[in-house]
Amino acid sequence: MSALESQRTYALVGTGGCGKTSLAEMLLLRAGVLNRLGKIEEGGTALDYEPEEIKRRGSIQPAFASFDWKGGRHYLMDLPGDANFTGDLDVLLSAVDFAVFTLDAVDGVRPLTKKHWQAVKKAGLPSCCFINKMDRDRADFDLAYNALSGLGLKPVLLYAPIGRQNAFSGLVDVLAGRALLFQEGGGVQEADIPADLRDSMSRLRDAAIENIAESDEVLMEKYLEEGLLSEAEIIEGLRKGVAGGELTPVMAGAALENKGGAQLLALLAACMPSPLDRPLLRDEKGGEHPVDPEGPPLCFVCKTLLDPFSGLLSVVRVFSGSLHSDSFLKNMRNGETERLGSPMLLTGKTQVPARETLGPGALVALAKLKNTRTGDTLASDKAPCVLPFPPLPPQLISYALSPREKGDEEKAYTAVQRLTDEDITLRLGRDEETGEIIISGMGQLHIEIAVEKARRRYKVDMQLNTPRVPYRETIKGKAQVQGRHKKQTGGRGQFGDCWLEFEPLPKGSGYSFEDAVVGGVIPRQYIPAVDKGVQEAAARGFLAGYPVVDFKARLYDGSYHNVDSSEMAFKIAGALAFKKAMEQCRPVLLEPIVILSISIPDEFMGDVIGNLSSRRGKVLGSDSLAGITELKAQVPMSEILRYAPDLRSMTGGQGVFTAEFSHYEEAPPQIAEKVVAEYQRNRKAEE
* Residue pLDDT, tens place only, 552-590: 999 999 999 998 999 999 999 999 999 999 999 999 999
In this predicted structure, which of 97-106, 380-389, 515-524, 642-651 has the lowest mean pLDDT? Answer: 642-651
CB neighbour burial string for 103-120, b if at least 16 within 10 angstroms, e if fewer: bbbbbbbbbbbbbbbebb
Range of the domain at 17: 8-191+246-277
Question: Has residue 561 been placed in a domain?
Answer: yes
Read off the pLDDT of residues 304-332 as tens digits, 9 standing for 90 and up. Answer: 998 887 788 999 999 999 998 888 999 99
With 0-12 / 13-18 / 19 or more C-beta atoms within 10 angstroms meaning exposed / middle / buried, residue 633 is buried
Are residues 170 and 32 part of one domain? yes
d(C-alpha 475, C-alpha 548), whole Å: 8
In this predicted structure, which of 112-121, 197-206, 428-437, 604-613 has the lowest mean pLDDT? Answer: 428-437
Are residues 342 and 448 part of one domain? no
Are residues 482 and 461 part of one domain? no
**CATH classification of the domain holding 187:** 3.40.50.300
pLDDT surpasses 90 at 399? no
Count: domains in the chain? 5
Question: Has residue 653 been placed in a domain?
Answer: yes
Read off the pLDDT of residues 627-639 as tens digits, 9 standing for 90 and up. Answer: 788 899 999 988 9
Question: Has residue 265 been placed in a domain?
Answer: yes
Are residues 159 and 18 part of one domain? yes
Are residues 501 and 452 part of one domain? no
Quickly state the pLDDT bin for 432 (edges 50, 70, 90): low
Coil, strand or helix at 259: strand
Are residues 553 and 617 part of one domain? no
Read off the pLDDT of residues 253-307 as tens digits, 9 standing for 90 and up. Answer: 999 999 999 999 999 999 999 999 988 888 888 888 888 888 899 999 999 998 8
Are residues 598 and 638 part of one domain? yes
| pTM assigned to the model | 0.78
d(C-alpha 581, C-alpha 577), whole Å: 6
In DSSP terms, 259 is beta-bridged to 254
Please choose, from the candidates 586, 552, 558, 584, the residue with its C-alpha nearest in 3D space to the C-alpha of residue 571.
558
Read off the pLDDT of residues 213-249 as tens digits, 9 standing for 90 and up. Answer: 888 888 888 888 877 888 888 888 999 999 998 999 9
Main-chain phi, psi angles of 478, to 5 degrees: -110, 160
pLDDT surpasses 80 at 41? no
pLDDT surpasses 70 at 250? yes
Please calculate the CA angle 535-538-544 and round it to the nearest 5 degrees.
160
Are residues 645 and 503 part of one domain? no
- 519, 550, 585: which is the final residue of a domain? 585
pLDDT surpasses 80 at 664? yes
What does the pLDDT read at residue 172? 94
**CATH classification of the domain holding 512:** 3.30.230.10
On whether the CB atoms of residues 158 and 248 are closer than 8 A, the answer is no
What does the pLDDT read at residue 326? 81
What does the pLDDT read at residue 215? 81
Are residues 259 and 334 part of one domain? no
